[in-house]
Amino acid sequence: MSLLSFLFKGHTMPEEVQVLDREDYKQAISKGKVQLVDVRTRAEFMSGHIKGASNIDFFQGSAFESAFSRFKRDKPLFIYCQSGNRSQRAARKLVDMGFKEVYDLKGGYRTWTY
């Protein structure tokens, strides 16, 4: 293992996860009914969210995992948070839970509103 791979281990996203910029994300979710999830807190969600998004708070531990039981693991799943940090952690967890295709909004909801 090289020094660089050691230093950056765990910082790369699994191949099942793609991070999309605002325009690509917007285009992807506009193609009909999609699995769209806001992983921010309820208060953050209530202050504004992408139309059609479900709210599943990443910080809710086992409730987070059980909430995803109603989603199809073999269909694309679109997630976002406020800045992109939480959703990257959520994306890794979702891949571990068996989701095959996860899309994350680069920069999070804050980039959506500009």
Which residues are known catalytic residues? 81
Q: Do the domain assignments include residue 82? A: yes
Does 6 reside within a domain? no
The pLDDT assigned to 11 comes to: 58
Residue ranges making up the domain that contains 94:
14-112
The number of distinct structural domains making up the chain is: 1
1 in a structural domain: no
**C-alpha distances out from residue 48 to 4, 17, 52, 88, 113, Å:** 39, 25, 12, 20, 9
Domain-located, residue 5: no
Q: What is the CATH number of the domain that holds 97?
A: 3.40.250.10
| C-alpha triplet 94, 81, 5: angle, nearest 5° | 60
pLDDT average per 10 residues of sequence, the chain (114 residues):
47 84 96 94 97 96 92 97 96 96 96 79
Q: Does any domain span residue 74?
A: yes
